[in-house]
Amino acid sequence: MEFFLDTADVDEIREIASWGILDGVTTNPSLIKKSGRDFKTVVAEIAEICNGPISAEVTAMDTDGMLTQARALKAELPENVIIKIPCTPEGLAATKVLTEEGIDTNVTLIFSASQALMAAKAGATYVSPFIGRIDDTGADGMALIAEIMTTWANYDVDTKVLAASIRHPTHVLQCMQLGAHTATMPTKIFKQLITHPLTDKGLDGFMKDWAEVEAAGNA
């Protein structure tokens, strides 16, 4: 079970990494835009903060362009950067070549089990089904995770299922119950997974009582 952050905000990544359980980070062109920073600079910084796989996405639409960008990213950025590739025929071909070159990939924008299967056949290290965006259409994103995991169970598939586009903590828990290998989530959801109002209330009560123990000289 791996927990990734889905952000290019280095302050947030640093904060969550300090908890000691951050396994990786995913970025995409929209998250890089939101950061307002230079793509390679921010990905390199993220890769220094977190030792796990850091997804950096190619933006070329053709296979050769994807391969050129992927090789440049691998040459210029830290070793733990992996290549995020869109789930298109051209992306499939690029994934196959990169796999043969020993470069790890994350095939993204997956909305069907057949797409996940095709990416796995191309040797993808990760496939990223987008749960929340499916939910947004009125369909059931979690049903896709279930479908993919059922398919995986029938064969000896090495590709990890990375649940993406996660909208709330229950999404994460349901993915884990279905056996998804990885979930990538915004910082807010990472924090929601560890907080509970009864924990806060209970701790407040313990601290108040302890202050009285100390005041009585019994600490």
- Residue holding tokens 């950025």? 77
DSSP string, 145-196: HHHHHHHHHHTT--PEEEEBS--SHHHHHHHHHTT-SEEEE-HHHHHHHH--
From 3, 4, 5, 6, residue interacting with ligand G3P (rule: CB under 6 A): 6
Among 4, 111, 130, 152, the residue binding ligand G3P under the rule CB under 6 A is 130
**Piece of 39-47, 85-93, 119-127, 128-136 that binds ligand G3P (CB under 6 A):** 128-136
Q: One symbol per residue from 153 to 192: x for binding ligand G3P (CB under 6 A), - otherwise; what is it?
A: -----------xx------------------x--------
Active site residue 84: yes
- Describe the crossing of helices 187-194 and 10-17 by its angle, rounded to 10 degrees: 20
Q: Which of 132, 146, 192, 193 binds ligand G3P (CB under 6 A)?
A: 132
The closest alpha carbon to 127, from 111, 142, 143, belongs to: 111
Q: Which two tokens stand for residue 1?
A: 């079970």
Which part of the chain contacts ligand G3P (CB under 6 A), choosing from 9-17, 35-43, 58-66, 129-137?
Answer: 129-137
Instruction: Please tell me whether residue 133 binds ligand G3P under the rule CB under 6 A.
Output: yes
* Site residue total, ligand G3P (CB under 6 A): 9
The answer to whether the beta carbons of residues 8 and 27 sit under 8 Å apart is: yes
- Other residues' Cβ atoms within 10 Å of the Cβ of residue 39: 18
Question: Is residue 16 part of the contact set for ligand G3P (CB under 6 A)?
Answer: no
**Exactly one of 34, 74, 84, 188 is catalytic; which is it?**
84
Beta bridge partners of 86: 108
Task: Name 200's Cβ contacts closer than 8 Å, sequence gap at least 6.
Answer: none
Q: Least distance from C-beta 215 to ligand G3P, angstroms?
A: 49
Q: Which residues are catalytic?
A: 84
Q: Which residues bind ligand G3P (CB under 6 A)?
A: 6, 26, 28, 130, 132-133, 164-165, 184
